[in-house]
């Protein structure tokens, strides 16, 4: 039994979010929540909310069949989202491109590690 949570258009680059996501890959939900509570990164707060959402989804989907104390993060991945392109003026009439990257986060929570 598994459930997932998808968060789209996070205003953070995928590279920064993947660092935090790799810290909790394959861990139990309880341990992942404590890790995210102690991590000093902006992405940790976003992941904490997504894990809470995935846990609530599995509770709602399989009412009395699943024990929420024994849940694991089966898969977690971060993809690139939309790209905001901005221009910054430079010397001698030139300009440079500035890319504001965003991310899509997907977390799958399961009652078994497989």
pLDDT, one tens digit per residue, over 25-83 is 999 999 999 999 999 999 999 999 999 999 999 999 988 888 888 899 999 999 999 99
Contact 30, 69 (CB under 8 A): yes
- pLDDT score, position 114: 63
- How many whole angstroms separate alpha carbon 54 and alpha carbon 49? 9
Report the SS3 class of residue 28. Answer: strand
- How many whole angstroms separate alpha carbon 57 and alpha carbon 113? 18
Rounded to two decimals, the pTM is 0.88
Fold exhibited by the domain 2-110: Ribosomal Protein L22; Chain A (3.90.470)
35: left (phi over 0), alpha (psi -120 to 50) or beta: alpha
Answer yes or no: is pLDDT of 113 > 80.
no
């Amino acid at each position: 039994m598994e459930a997932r949570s998808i968060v789209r258009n996070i205003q953070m680059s995928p590279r920064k979010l993947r660092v935090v996501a790799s810290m909790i890959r394959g861990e139990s939900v309880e341990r992942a929540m404590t890790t995210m509570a102690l991590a000093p990164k902006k992405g940790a707060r976003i992941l904490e909310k997504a894990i809470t959402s995935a846990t609530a989804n599995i509770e709602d989907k399989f009412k009395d069949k699943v024990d929420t104390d024994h849940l694991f993060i089966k898969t977690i991945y971060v993809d690139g989202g939309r790209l905001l392109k901005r221009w910054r003026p430079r010397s001698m009439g030139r300009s440079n491109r500035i890319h504001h990257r965003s991310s899509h986060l997907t977390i799958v929570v399961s009652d078994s590690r497989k």
